[in-house]
Amino acid sequence: MAKRRSVDPKYSMCVQPSFIIGTNNEDGSANFAPITWASATHEDGDQYLFVISMAGTKMTKKNVLRTGVFSANLVSIDMLPLMDYFGSKHAKDGAKNDISYEVVRGEVLDVPVLNESRWVYECEVARTVETGDSTTFFCHIRNIQMDERLTCEDIFDIDLTVLDPVIYFLVGHLNHQSRKF
Ligand SMILES: Cc1cc2nc3c(=O)[nH]c(=O)nc-3n(C[C@H](O)[C@H](O)[C@H](O)COP(=O)(O)O)c2cc1C
């Protein structure tokens, strides 16, 4: 049996997947930013909702609130420099074009998609929930683009060695997290 102690409920032990969210700016250009507060929940049948939470007044959040659509591009290890760049520059400080990357359009939704990503969700917001300065979007997944090397026998048969996903763990407690965003 583990020996535990009770502490202030401010520490974080939430291991997160890493997605780069692609949105349309008002002028039609593309914007990308990493968002790791991402999860899923069940809907009717074998449908599930993609759940993603964004804090503050960042452009990505404004774009999702305005258009109701976005792409969620899974980050693989080779995409870490992109995630680092997109996460350290804010769209309000200018277009994120200091490094090169390829953008294509979604197959089903009119959203910008990162060509590098091996797994892309094309999402449409179904409903939103506000908590403090954060907005959580519950989204219909209108399309999934998966790497052609994946051969899935059922919906849970996903070969992670093909996706090589980045797992994000925020070091520190929640006060640090809210400052960062
Ligand atoms: C690894 C990483 C994870 C992040 N996760 C989130 C998140 O889950 N929610 C959020 O609101 N911001 C998150 N951010 C912050 C945004 O990506 C960052 O503020 C970005 O510059 C916003 O760009 P924008 O202003 O162009 O939308 C994260 C940043 C990094 C580097």
What are the residues whose beta carbons fall under 8 Å from the beta carbon of 34, sequence distance 6 or more? 18, 19, 20, 21, 75, 83, 86, 87
Output the CA 45–ligand 1 centroid distance in Å: 32
d(CA 31, CA 51) in angstroms, rounded, equals 20
Where does the pLDDT of residue 47 fall: very low under 50, low under 70, confident under 90, or very high at 90 and above? confident
Tokens read off for 161: 């060695």
pTM for the whole structure: 0.93
Where does the pLDDT of residue 89 fall: very low under 50, low under 70, confident under 90, or very high at 90 and above? very high
- Using most ligand atoms within 8 A of CB, pick from 14, 16, 23, 36 the residue to mutate for ligand 1: 36
**pLDDT tens digit string along 6-32?**
999 888 888 999 999 999 999 999 999
118 lines ligand 1 (CB under 6 A): no
CATH of domain 17-180: 2.30.110.10
- Where are the domains positioned within the chain? 17-180
